[in-house]
Amino acid sequence: MNRLLRALLPVLALPLAAAAPAGQIIAEHGNGNGGPACVTCHGPNLHGNATIGAPRIAGLPAAEVLARLAHYAGPDGHNAMMRMVATGLTPGERQAVAAYLASLPPAR
């Protein structure tokens, strides 16, 4: 029985992997379900876009990214674009994006 379960585990995990695309893919291309690409506003290197007031997000701690996304998705988040981003991502996608952003070197 254990051998069968171990053999099936990768197959059972496929729907989960498909449900939450890699954070880099979401950051660069969006999730195709209402969550736009981070690079659209935060720039190609995610080092910010002063012209529109989009801050640097590359290198931020994952916990900070998750907290900000939760804020924008909640009743106190008054930035319409970020509300669309935050509510367009599933919890797993938020975590994937946060982990990806935290893995990037910060702007200097």
Residue 107: its pLDDT value, please? Answer: 74
Q: Give CA–CA dist 36/61, Å, rounded.
A: 21
Q: Which domains does the chain have, with CATH numbers?
A: 20-103 (1.10.760.10)
Residue 2: its pLDDT value, please? Answer: 52
Average pLDDT, the chain: 85
Q: Give CA–CA dist 99/63, Å, rounded.
A: 9
Q: Give CA–CA dist 36/8, Å, rounded.
A: 34
Q: Are 27 and 38 spatial neighbours (Cβ–Cβ below 8 Å)?
A: yes
Beta bridge partners of 54: 49
